[in-house]
Amino acid sequence: MRSSTKLLLMTVGLICVSAFIAFGMRFALGESTVPPLQHFQHKFTIDYEQNVFLMDSKPFRYVSGSFHYFRAVPEVWRDRLRTMRACGLNAVDTYIEWSLHNPKDGEYTFDGIADVEKFIQIAQEEDLYVILRPGPYICAERDNGGLPHWLFTKYPDIKPRTSDANYTSEVSIWYANIMKRMKPYLYGNGGPIIMVQVENEYGSFDACDKDYLRWLRDETNKYVRSGDAVLFTTDIPNDRISCGKIEDVFATTDFGLERASEIDDVWSTLRSVQPNGPLVNSEFYPGWLTHWQEGNERRDGAAVAEALRNILTYRANVNIYMFFGGTNFGFTAGANDWGFGNYTPDITSYDYDAVMDEAGDVTPKYMQVRDVLKEFMIMPAIEVPAKSPKTAYGSIQLKSMGDILSPAGLEALSVKQVTSKLPLSFEELDQYSGLVLYETVLPKIEIDPTILTVNKLHDRGLVYIDGQFIGTLSRQNKISSLPLNAGVIGEKLQILVENQGRINFNIANDTKGILGPVTIQKLNGSKIELLNWTSSSLPLKIEEISKFLEIQKNSANFSSEQQGILVNGPVVFYGELNIDENPTDTYLNTEGWGKGVAYINGFNLGRYWPLVGPQITMYVPGPVLRKGLNEIVLLEFQKTSSDLRINFSDVARLDGV
């Protein structure tokens, strides 16, 4: 062997030994031994000249569908996502709901239906990229647009979605908790998240606070580095779109069937604030939201398919909102006020006439959308799933367990009682939802009848005097007054106020409860304000409901035959359903009942109101049920069915009786 060769081999050997020693030292010290090459391998960016997204330097287009993890139980997430992928989608779009994860100041939850990390992991396993929309305001037809109620307890004068220091400081705390969890799932870090939204339809918000938008952009950039994912905004294509545009943040728009026929004008509006870059419709609507006391919104499937085809011919990217809607379980449904004080609460179902129905099944619209996507996307080798089984479990007998305004009811259900000069709001009681009972003593009535007026009632009030029902007040129907007759009523006035959902679109501060003076008329025509109130907090959590049931079951003197119109206040009803086999999805048919809240096995299904509709049935996911005994609880506010029975059906009814 030549001396030069020996020298070369000795040099290489020394290098290898040195590297091995260095490796051992780093390992012993607990340092990473994997070279940080991921950021060189994975990048999601924009080519503004070619008007395309770039995934690892290659042109990329996404067609995604909205599916909010908090509108389905975790056991079905994978099935829903797989059904979406089978349609030809390559991404899923989801909001993150601040109020879900941070229900109380300083308290956080990320398990169960709030396990957003698990949701993202499953999406990646099902070959879907993720469009992440962390808000902090999301709208989404959710209570308070996803902002936690305690913000308004902690800061009564807070100005959300502005540069208000109280608001931005709380958003910073929230982002420090949620965004650090999201960071490993960014595309640049090997995860599926390719897009991260900054705010949500801000151009429609009156404040138009550019300083706030720039601050939120910079706050988001603390966790999302350039190339890891693309920051974007979404705005309605109108003359306020510039209010939502942020420097160095990619702009998108949203529109449905109504604007698809004038799509060139829509793109021109988008180009007015962003001359170049890929075209994106971040919310293409195949259906629409529905409120109580109105007809169910529907959209023709053929028209949806044709509009989608039109969008895709422009080489545009699109997110279908909603692809799967799901359910507003519990008290999470919000409300809208489209102007002039027209408060309208959202129904519990978020079926949305979406591409998949509330139970996650494919619809004719799904097949029409899939046929369009075959023309533009590489279809996965996944069969379209069959519909999930549904079971009509039949009717069960319910038993009246007593009214909640009884001493036993208030003892179990009221978690706080405060006496004050004026009625206290839900927020002042630090209460999310449910009911608040307001009580005071009536003065002597001078005229017959007199008028009781409750100013600024949010949202619905059942009025009782000495425990007897007098009438109903309604923010939605603009009824704020009731006549009271002298000589036939007592002295104790009770007003039971229900929160029907905080406004979700273009919110300000939709505080709940009695927010203005309560008055009665005097003989001279003037009004006297009623003072000295006791405000009792009834959040209607299953823990309190269960406590009340236990008290009543164990009471030797308990007897209740309440049926028909409930003249002494809301009543708790209880029944049992036995299931012999493994349970499947079903629908709780509330026809014949009035208005209230339903619970199954401690799970709050949400609000029902078949008296006005259009929603009659409540979707019950199979995982909520169990083989054997299932406990059914209704908290009914107004009236019962004629026989105190309730039915489980295998068919949804969302279009009225």
Give me the active site residues, please.
Answer: 201, 283
Spatial distance between the Cα atoms of 195 and 51, rounded to a whole number of angstroms: 16
Cα–Cα separations (whole angstroms), residue 403 to 541, 545, 589:
16, 11, 23
Residue 181 C-beta-side C-alpha neighbours within 13 Å: 20
Cα–Cα separations (whole angstroms), residue 58 to 54, 63, 312, 603:
5, 17, 19, 47
Whether 642 contacts 369, CB under 8 Å: no
Spatial distance between the Cα atoms of 231 and 226, rounded to a whole number of angstroms: 9
Whether 494 contacts 458, CB under 8 Å: no
Whether 136 contacts 198, CB under 8 Å: no
Contacts of 132 (CB under 8 A, 6+ apart): 94, 96, 182, 193, 195, 196, 197, 229
Q: Which two tokens stand for residue 633?
A: 């609880």
Length of the chain measured in residues? 657
The SS3 call for residue 642 is: coil
The SS3 call for residue 509 is: coil
The SS3 call for residue 519 is: strand
Q: Which residues pair with 587 in a beta bridge?
A: 619, 649
Q: What is the DSSP code (8-state) at residue 253?
A: E
Whether 44 contacts 228, CB under 8 Å: yes
Decide the pairing of beta strands 460-465 and 492-498. antiparallel
Nearest CA to 590 among 500, 657, 496, 501? 657
Decide the pairing of beta strands 460-465 and 645-649. unpaired
